[in-house]
Structure 1
């Protein structure tokens, strides 16, 4: 299962972010596994799953495509422990964007070097814009040790 979803994330879709209907977010282009540590690949939880975010445990960034631009947002605060280097709640920030990621992570015996993000929410607050709260789910993949 993890191989299938990671293959979907690494498939060869268009290189520019594809807008998600009704949202300021776009689907990310293909993302690689980290060379060290773990990354969470987050998909929209509804039908037509789109890769909407990638969080890296180290260096602590969240990659999003907002308004057609892919950018990394630095981790500012985290509480709780979801595992694999991720917190239950993590806040990422730039000058005018605050993104809050809440994750529920489940380890499974049939997955090695990773876990499942059973459920989560991605909240995006931007100066002068409406707040967006998006349900997400996905996988955590870790570099081979």
Structure 2
């Protein structure tokens, strides 16, 4: 009887994110929440494997990605001049021996009251002693409260 009660909970669980996407050392992220304040960009891979790859927070200035199977936050270290919803068209993040540059095209739409579309983006990841990786992405920006 208890097995029957547990079955719906097991079936409803999110599948684990991929550890590697299309041969890249970049993996997928699990479900991410909207921040309590400000906006966040949710960016998905555009290749053969579709998965959430990156979440960038405008308010905290962080980028969350999974490298070699481990999710980690990277702090913003610089950004371009043009900003929309708290994001520049190009932002640099770093932690330890890893640096990432996120370039995004943000498009506002009338049917999105609290956010925008990221029609195209690229994520460049550079790690000491390893080859750099560039991954194409696309997604959307969601904002808590008014923007």
TM-score, normalised by the number of residues in structure 1: 0.87
Task: Deviation per CA, 1:29-88: give whole Å up to 9, x if none.
Answer: 110001100000000122442100000001100000001111000000001324100001
- Mapping 1:67-78, distance limit 5 Å: 67-78=68-79
Gaps of 5+ in 2: 1-11
SS at match of 1:32: coil
Question: How far is the alpha carbon of 1:95 from its aligned partner?
Answer: 1.5
Q: Report the structure number with the largest CA radius of gyration.
A: 2
SS at match of 1:41: strand
Show the counterpart of 2:3: none
The 1-side partners of 2:128 and 2:95 are apart by 11
Show the counterpart of 2:93: 92
Show the counterpart of 1:60: 61
Is 1:41 paired with 2:23?
no
Q: Decide whether aligned partners of structure 1 residues 107 and 12 sit closer, same or farther in structure 2, where only a CA change above 3 A counts.
A: farther
* RMSD between aligned residues: 1.6
TM-score, normalised by the number of residues in structure 2: 0.86
Show the counterpart of 1:103: 104
The 1-side partners of 2:71 and 2:18 are apart by 8
SS at match of 2:15: coil
Gaps of 5+ in 1: 1-10
